[in-house]
Amino acid sequence: MAKGPKTVYYCTDCGNETIKWQGRCPACGAWNTIVEHVEKPGPKNTPKQS
């Protein structure tokens, strides 16, 4: 099964990254600073040609 894009959430004030959205950043305590970021999957590993 292929994996889809990875969704992470990060604080715009301190940059702390979490796996779920929260109203308050657990690292710096700022409210409403968590934003969603979807990471696109990278290229598949392909053998290098020599």
Q: pLDDT at position 29, please? A: 98
Q: pLDDT at position 35, please? A: 98
Q: pLDDT at position 44, please? A: 66
Pairing mode, if any, of strands 17-18 and 6-11?
antiparallel
Q: pLDDT at position 33, please? A: 97
Residues 1-50: tens digit of each pLDDT: 567 889 999 999 999 999 999 999 999 999 999 999 998 876 666 666 66
Full-model pTM: 0.68
Distance CA 44, CA 1 (A): 14
Distance CA 19, CA 12 (A): 15
